[in-house]
Amino acid sequence: MSGARLVVFGYGNPSRGDDAIGPLLVERLTALQAARPDWPAVELLTDFQLQVEHAVDLQGRELALFIDAHMACAAPFVFSRLEAARDVSYTTHAMTPAALLYAYAQVYRQPPPPAFLLSVRGEHFELGDPLSPAAETHLDAAARLLEKLCMQPDGPAWQQYRSR
């Protein structure tokens, strides 16, 4: 774990079309981070899905941001505040961000850091699909928001960007 105040999780399967949006946005952030000396300390992580082990990555953070592709959200994206919530499914093989926050609170006996979810609209999620043209447009819009968020890693300041 780094000493970064903000951790960003971009998750999804790059082999399943628009499900690659989360990891692709983290790739863009990684390039921006490398090119900008004024970039604050941000830890950027990708994975196919969230798992209970990711609770460790929340330790010592002041803020967490999750990025995922969604079929049903408004285009180009929805940006929302997360609250910890118990997952009632029978497995922890794949978790929601809210369930991960809940697991963190249970394991560490303290509240998780403030967290937000950037849900980016996707349309095609079949194995072997390329990124759809609509998803590329949504990805560009989301990247612009992410740059603003990462340059100001402050939960109260992020409230202004929440989708209504």
* pLDDT exceeds 60 at position 65: yes
Q: Which domain holds residue 97?
A: 6-161
Domain for residue 146, yes or no? yes
| pTM, two decimal places | 0.94
Q: Residue 91: is its pLDDT beyond 70? A: no
Instruction: Report pLDDT for 118.
Output: 98
Distance separating alpha carbons of residues 127 and 37, to the nearest angstrom: 38
Residue 84 lies in a domain: yes
41 assigned to some structural domain: yes
Query: Which pLDDT belongs to residue 121?
Result: 97
The answer as to whether 86 is a domain residue is yes
Summarize pLDDT for 17-49 with one digit per residue, the tens. 999 999 999 999 999 999 988 888 899 999 999
Query: Which pLDDT tens digit goes with each residue over 120-139?
Result: 999 999 999 999 999 999 99
Number of structural domains found in the chain: 1
- 27 belongs to a structural domain: yes
The answer to whether residue 1 sits within a structural domain is no
CATH number for position 82? 3.40.50.1450
**Residue 125 in domain:** yes
Res 94: pLDDT:
77
